[in-house]
Amino acid sequence: MSALRTMTVAGTRPELIRLSLLVPLLDDATDHTFVHTGQNTGPDLHDQFLDELAIRDPDVQLALPAGSAAERVAAVLTQVDALLAEVAPQRLVILGDTDSGMCAYAAARRGIPVVHLEAGNRAHDPRVPEEINRRVIDDLSTVLLPYTESSAGNLRREGVADDRIVVIGNPIVEVLAAHRLAIRARRCAARLGLPARFVLATVHRAETTDDPAVLRSVVAALAAVGASLDAPVVLPLHPRTAQRLAAADVTLDADRFVTTRPLGFVDFVSLEGDATLVLTDSGTVQEETAVLGIPTVLVRDVTERPELLACGAVVLGGRTTASIGAAVEQVLRDGPSGELPAEYAIADVAARAAAVVVDDRWGGAPT
């Protein structure tokens, strides 16, 4: 009997982080093709993510055009569909809600079972670009792997049958544990010459950066928080953010902000662990800081991870200077709760996901 043919498609750094422990398991258990779409890449991709997370090089590296979301999705569909025709995988594995995951459409049209990790996340706000992708990808998927019962509940309310839903836990927890010694040894804050008290911030989402007025408000809030704590604000600049700051004619005060290029996984988590406070619009960052127990304000109006708000690990701050300031006061006064969703205690997430992928219930059994 030949091995089950599987294909994993990823396109962004958060996807690579979360898939880093699953890829080698699929390599061992299946005839596995690993595809990187190039949606979120750059000269530091190998050094910062593939190498330090011990992920092998992709079998296929695609090239997506710079352009609109529609152009990007069209390129993903066209290029991945050609690979599906060539490789004929019996499973397509995708994670998350990016444009790269929209290749689920090509697989569904070819009758290839789709396994979707991070299924069921919902912000319930159609203005969030990823919300469209989440719903489409979940609708096209054969088996859905939410991280939490909260996300599984969203799927059930949308009519997904229980036998297609498998709660696996959050892969971030397992990845942090796997790299804890490297993170502890990195001492990134000391290497950057930061004082004992500093604020770490990340801003990159479209709803935060595309409107110049919102971006100015958020930057003003970051500066005000740093001033109130008499602490520098460390801001690794995502390319999208740097472009939007320039377009909005926003200058970061060098006396308040410490800007860096995008950091690797170990460097960034090292900074998270030493920060006095984290302000972010990132889904990944809020999961990491929740696990690390760092006071965190989410610079958004909504979240697709309400379980972190419910347990007090993260405070929702909105996108205005006043609302962010109020959230900072709250989290510094009360501190993070120290509690986490029950599913964050699951320590074998990658193994659970791999077992679902190879399960013959989804069809496409090896011959």
Q: Are 115 and 264 contained in the same domain?
A: no
pLDDT for residue 295: 97
pLDDT for residue 338: 82
pLDDT for residue 367: 43
Q: Which residue stretches of the chain are H helix?
A: 13-19, 22-29, 45, 69-87, 104-109, 129-140, 149-157, 171-178, 180-186, 188-191, 206-209, 212-229, 239-247, 265-274, 283-292, 306-310, 321-334, 349-358
Q: What's 101's domain CATH number?
A: 3.40.50.2000
pLDDT for residue 46: 56
Domain assignment present for 367: no
Domain assignment present for 177: no
Domain around 72: 5-169+346-362
Residue with the two structure tokens 């942090």: 176
Number of folded domains that form the chain? 2
Q: Are 149 and 132 contained in the same domain?
A: yes
CB neighbours of residue 200 within 10 Å: 27
Q: Are 241 and 351 contained in the same domain?
A: no
Domain assignment present for 262: yes
Q: Are 72 and 57 contained in the same domain?
A: yes
Phi-psi domain of 66 (left: phi exceeds 0; alpha: psi -120 through 50; beta: other): beta
pLDDT for residue 48: 67
pLDDT for residue 305: 97
Domain assignment present for 39: yes
CB neighbours of residue 167 within 10 Å: 18
CA dihedral 132, 122, 49, 11 (to 10 degrees): -20
What 3-state class would DSSP assign to 355? Answer: helix
Domain assignment present for 175: no
In DSSP terms, which residues pair with 145 in a beta bridge?
117
Q: Are 85 and 192 contained in the same domain?
A: no
Residue 329 tokens, joined: 């006061």
pLDDT for residue 337: 84
pLDDT by residue, tens only, the chain of 367 residues? 579 999 999 999 999 999 999 999 999 999 999 999 988 766 555 556 788 899 999 999 998 888 898 999 999 999 999 999 999 999 999 999 999 999 999 999 999 999 999 999 999 998 898 999 999 999 999 999 999 999 999 999 999 999 999 999 999 999 999 999 999 999 999 999 999 999 999 999 999 999 999 999 999 999 999 999 999 999 999 888 999 999 999 999 999 999 999 999 999 999 999 999 999 999 999 999 999 999 999 999 999 999 999 999 999 999 999 999 999 999 999 988 888 999 999 999 999 999 999 999 998 654 4
311 within 8 A of 340, measured Cβ to Cβ: yes
Sign for the pseudo-dihedral over CA of 82, 87, 89, 93: negative
Q: Are 273 and 318 contained in the same domain?
A: yes
Angle between the 349-358 and 171-178 helix axes, to the nearest 10 degrees? 120
